[in-house]
Amino acid sequence: MAFIYSEPSHTFSEYLLIPGYSSADCIPSKVSLRTPVVKFRRGEESTLMMNIPLTSAIMQSVSGERMAIALAKEGGISFIYGSQSVESEAAMVARVKAYKAGFVVSDSNIRPSGTMQDVLELKNQTGHSTIAVTEDGSPTGKLMGIVTSRDYRVTRMDPATRVSEFMTPMSKLIYAKKDTTLKEANDIIWEHKLNSLPIVDDDGSLLYMVFRKDYDTHKENTLELLDKQKRYVVGAGINTRDYAERVPALVEAGADVLCIDSSEGFTEWQKITLSWIRERYGDSVKVGAGNVVDRDGFLFLAECGADFVKVGIGGGSICITREQKGIGRGQATALIEVCKARDEYFEKTGVYIPVCSDGGIVQDYHMTLALAMGADFLMLGRYFSRFDESPTNRVNIGGSYMKEYWGEGSNRARNWQRYDMGGASKLSFEEGVDSYVPYAGSLKDNVTLSLNKVRSTMCNCGVLNIPDLQKHAKMTLVSSTSIVEGGAHDVLLKDNALGYAK
């Protein structure tokens, strides 16, 4: 008969941290969330560090170039999704590396022949009120004018009114040329009391937009993650099928770190992929591997040469691998076992291989639990999919704004390479769903709030950095009734009381 574990596997929600002694110096503003991304030897520092322990998932509905830029500004890394052509993924990476801080490629564009109704629909979709009017409606077309909410009145205008009739035309528009520096652009914005400034080339084609609101934001990004050339750090996903074409293209585009995107990493396919990369690039190309859920899986990928190992099978909110195939493990139990194997491997070899926890994060406090259990950083899908910067549409469902979110194993994504077991080049059955998640606003606001909670909890544990959290944290399993006790109970909440009174 099969080997059967004597203990059930557990999720993050089944654990709580026990407070430790907190000195007067242990305050959230002094907490460092700096963490290693790729392996290093004892006594050395990882060649790639993050300033916050968050990465965005390798998913079509999560990690595009806007997400990569926004997350790098906060100190984390986005892994551009690999379920697209080699050329388009490499182009995304290249655009992130070429991005000039403060200069934004317009993602709200319309033709002059469009209507006010089109403007309203675009505003509803993107959440942006400043819309560039270009000749062909593209982000880099010839600029014809700008539309803002001050240019039209919904209650006084026919929805069929052409954009050309109410836009602010180029003849009345203040704009700047392509060689304008960010300081000069901001000076123009402040001098003319503008909310935005278009940057155009010599032919009048739109290059970038500079926004007043980004000025303060840029000044606040003290943790932004940059490479040696002061460019944003970005990761990219690869698979075990077309790596011979994809890896060189991504390296050429400037990707700082790669990750094999697979639902199951304890396979010869990952060994072959890692061996190919090491034979051609040595250790110069950093690549993570996974996913695994136990000691054996970690040790296998460690010996194959992985720079970090990703943990988690079936714990994602849109993942149905467990119910489809009956395979996986509770994320907390999987993470604890893998991190223990990581520490033993470090003691034996002197090589520290960071662990990434992928999946199972539902509440913000789960982040702190995962770090305390040994994770060096986290990979999040649903969490980031809710933000303005994810590549999906914002839609109105039943009066509430939502964002689209689908799994790589869904029929919509059809990322068969992620679930490839060496068979036909197709997705035989679904391992993910197509869904909506509540729209949450900007990445910056939400990440700041979540990490403030993490820092505060770390202070409750009496620590000021992640390594100390892993060394000194104490945790306890909780019963089902203890979970109920942990929330609001035995009271009638005011919002509900109002409805009850009626």
Active centre residues (catalytic)? 319, 418
Q: What are the Cα distances from residue 125, in Å, to 143, 361, 391, 403?
A: 21, 27, 11, 10
Give the β-pairing of 235-238 and 257-260.
Answer: parallel
CA atoms within 13 A on the CB side of 467: 6
Which DSSP string corresponds to 105-173?
A: ----EE-TT-BHHHHHHHHHHH--S-EEEETTSSTTSBEEEEE-GGG--TTTS-TT-BHHHHSEEGGG-
CB crowding 108-138: b at 16 or more within 10 Å, else e:
bbbbbebbbebbeebbeebebbbbbbbeebe
Q: What is the 3-state secondary structure (H, E, C) of 228-291?
A: CCCCECCEEEECCCCHHHHHHHHHHHCCCEEEECCCCCCCHHHHHHHHHHHHHHCCCCCEEEEE
Q: Which residue has the tokens 């585009």?
A: 253
* SS3 assignment, position 296: helix
Bridge partners of residue 437, in order along the sequence: 403
Q: Is 105 left (phi over 0), alpha (psi -120 to 50) or beta?
A: beta
β-strands 309-311, 54-56 pairing: unpaired
Could you tell me which residues are beta bridge partners of residue 142? 205
Q: Which two tokens stand for residue 337?
A: 């076992």
Measure CA 261 to chain center: 14
Q: What is d(CA 58, CA 468) in angstroms, rounded to the nearest whole number?
A: 29
Phi, psi of 133 (to 5 degrees): -100, 110
With beta carbons less than 8 A apart as the criterion, state whether 437 and 476 touch.
no
Residue whose C-alpha is closest to residue 214's, from 234, 194, 200: 194
- Specify the pairing of strand 400-406 against strand 394-397: antiparallel
3-state helix, strand, coil in the chain (%, to 5): 35, 20, 45
